[in-house]
């Protein structure tokens, strides 16, 4: 049985290097691991407990929760916006953290990776995403990391899926996720 990994990308831009990194994860997922790139984070309303009422949860949030509920693990892709994670990624984590103690992230393996223009590849944002996912109940894989600096120049003419070093590192992160999540997938 394959480990099902749901990829959430914290950038909405069509040409986003983090989206391309997620596409590389889908393309190069190791045997026994299926990566699904979630589409629809742009449609999520900001989390508001007044909207999160059984029977009237917004359709976009219900869809995210349904897809996430079927995942064995998560791979979050975070650029760095003003030194932290993008609001769209934090919002997804907020929706997936509810109901408190039983949200779709609860007890599931999560790794956070990403790329950014700066010299550190977005590590602050990725650390913030790990913190938020952990507080939301996820089992955060602290050692499964990939921060690719200089995205604008590094990926100017090369898609991350064609960068051997990036692919090797991303494949290792996916291997770690699959190893951690395999018992839950069985």
pLDDT at 29 > cutoff 80 = yes
pLDDT at 185 > cutoff 90 = no
pLDDT at 73: 98
The pTM of this model reads 0.96
What is the distance between the alpha carbons of residues 98 and 83, in angstroms, rounded to a whole number? 26
| Domain residue limits at 89 | 3-185
What is the distance between the alpha carbons of residues 131 and 84, in angstroms, rounded to a whole number? 11
138-157 pLDDT per residue, tens:
999 999 999 999 999 999 99
User: In angstroms, how far is the first alpha carbon of the chain from the final one?
Assistant: 7
How many structural domains are present in the chain? Answer: 1
pLDDT at 183: 77
Q: What residues have CB less than 8 Å from 24, skipping those under 6 apart?
A: 159, 160, 161, 163, 166, 167, 170
76-129 pLDDT per residue, tens:
999 999 999 999 999 999 999 999 889 999 999 999 999 999 998 999 999 999
158-168 pLDDT per residue, tens:
999 999 999 99
- Kindly report the CATH number assigned to the domain that includes residue 147: 3.40.50.360
């Amino acid at each position: 049985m394959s480990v099902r990994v749901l990829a959430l990308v914290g950038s909405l831009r069509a040409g986003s290097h983090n989206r391309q990194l997620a596409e590389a994860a889908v393309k190069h997922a190791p045997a026994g691991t299926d990566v699904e790139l979630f589409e629809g984070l742009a449609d999520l309303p900001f989390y508001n407990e007044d909207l999160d009422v059984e029977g009237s949860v917004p359709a976009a949030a219900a869809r995210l929760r349904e897809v996430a509920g079927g995942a064995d693990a998560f791979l979050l892709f975070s650029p760095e916006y003003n030194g932290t994670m993008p609001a769209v990624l934090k919002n997804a984590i907020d929706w997936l953290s509810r109901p408190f103690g039983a949200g779709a992230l609860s007890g599931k393996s999560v790794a956070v990776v990403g790329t950014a223009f700066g010299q550190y590849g977005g590590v602050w944002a990725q650390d913030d995403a790990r913190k938020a996912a952990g507080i939301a109940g996820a089992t955060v894989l602290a050692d499964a990391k990939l921060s690719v600096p200089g995205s604008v120049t590094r990926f100017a003419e090369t898609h991350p899926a064609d960068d051997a070093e990036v692919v090797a590192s991303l494949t290792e992160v996916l291997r770690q996720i699959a190893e951690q999540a395999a018992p839950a997938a069985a």
